Amino acid sequence: MSRRMVFGIVSLPCGGSTGWFARLRSGGLSAWCAVRVGWISLALATISWAEPFRYVENFEQRDPVRFWTTNGTYEVHYKGLTDEEAHGGRRAFKLDVTLNKGSYLYWQVPVRAPAEGRLRFSAWIKIVTLSPGASVGLGANYVFPPTRHSGCGPFETFRKTTDWVAVTGDLAQEAIRRADRVARRYVDGATGENVGLWVDRWSIFIFGRPGQRIVLYVDDVTIEGDVPNAIDYRRVARDRFQPVRERLLRKLAVQRRTLDRLAGELAGYRRRRRLLAIAERMLQYSERTVDEARALMDRLQRTGYGSPNEVAGLRQRIDLLAQVLPNLKRLAASGEGRSCIVFVSRPITNARIPPNSFPIPGRIDNELSVVACPGEYEPATFTVLAIEKVRALCVEVEPLRGTAGELPP
């Protein structure tokens, strides 16, 4: 069996960690370079040899096509092999369906291979019935380990009936394009360069509206090329993802120490015999937030990655706890007798504070401090929380007083 090297990583350390990194993808070279002052030595980090891969389905003997997914319901009038039409040989695959509900219907044939190096898809399709507004395409699904994320789509969509038409696509090129978009959106701190690229099925993609009917034939599906050895490639993919994992674990270690400290301070308020009702409510919310933050930390620690929303949500929970503790201290020291509480927030913030917000972001204070000069000032953002039933609220603006005098409102 012939073997040809199409994949490699070359590392030129500059004083320790990798400084030069080059990867060969689909015959094209993409290089990332970083140079430090110091010595440079050349080291061959990883070599993975490509192996020929070839998959062919001519639909002469069996029907491998299986339902994949839909967002509605459908009716199958015919699905299977037929000799009504054929591009090559005597038979082809025929699918005759009507969408009853929903807007998409996908069919699949499992095929698994590394989608890196040189890997191309080719097939033939003939569409004999296609309702106006509906569309059909052939394509693939790609998975990006070690994450559980994936991406799929057709190489080309057809909106009109056709005679036999060839559909071709570069699976390796499409995989990295989709991986980059998916990784940036769903894996904090990652790009397509940090994940493995695999194709795990080719697919028939149908889009339309309820009541639309589609009749099509597919024949002579081929996936072939030269791809990395599967066992070696799994190791390479793990190594690519390691910087993302290590960066997250370092961040989690710092946040866990902060959370443990805040949780310990909260425990001190729990031992108090009596708290204001608003303080008790704030304490209960904080205790739930600690539990939620720890559960999220544990899950991120196990998986080794999280989405940008998850990582930001963890940081927001800890920031909120850091705000709550000084407020609890102030409430505990003030005692009874308050009719309302004023929370002072950052002058400019993206946080929306609707009437039912709790806890309210900001510090409890009796004064508002702003920076200003004649003709120019920063805004003040504050929220008033009623302890007792309030029938009316009056806010008066007085001159701004400072060491240089007063500024009129």
Question: Which pLDDT score, from 0 to 100, does residue 92 have?
Answer: 98
Mean pLDDT of 85-103: 96
- What percentage of the chain has pLDDT greater than the value 70? 85
pLDDT of residue 268: 82
Taking residues 375-396, report their average pLDDT: 78
State the average pLDDT for the chain: 84
pLDDT digits (tens, 9 = 90+) for 106-147: 999 999 999 999 999 999 999 999 999 999 999 999 999 999
Domain with CATH 2.60.120.260 in the chain: 53-228
DSSP 51: E
Q: Using an 8 Å Cβ cutoff, are 149 and 186 in contact?
A: yes
The DSSP symbol for 193 reads G
Q: What is the pLDDT of residues 179-225, one digit of tens each?
A: 999 999 999 999 999 999 999 999 999 999 999 999 999 999 999 99
Higher-confidence position of 241 and 31 = 241
pLDDT digits (tens, 9 = 90+) for 26-62: 333 333 333 222 222 222 234 346 899 999 999 999 9
Q: Scanning the structure block, which residue is given the tokens 């608003």?
A: 278
Q: Is the confidence at residue 174, as pLDDT, over 50?
A: yes
Q: What confidence score (pLDDT) does residue 233 get?
A: 94
Q: Can you read off the two tokens belonging to residue 36?
A: 């430090």
Which residues contact residue 268 at a Cβ distance below 8 angstroms, ignoring those fewer than 6 apart? none
CB 383 within 8 A of CB 360: yes
- The fold adopted by the segment(s) 53-228 is Jelly Rolls (2.60.120)
In 3D, which of 230, 242, 179 has the Cα closest to residue 48?
Answer: 230
Q: Which of 14-18, 130-134, 230-234 has the lowest mean pLDDT?
A: 14-18
Q: Is 130 exposed, middle or buried (0-12, 13-18, 19+ CB in 10 A)?
A: buried
**Tokens 């038979």 correspond to what residue?**
91
Half-sphere exposure at residue 210, Cβ-oriented, CA atoms within 13 angstroms: 6
Check if the beta carbon of residue 130 is closer than 8 Å to that of residue 239.
no
Is residue 36 classed as helix, strand or coil in its secondary structure? coil
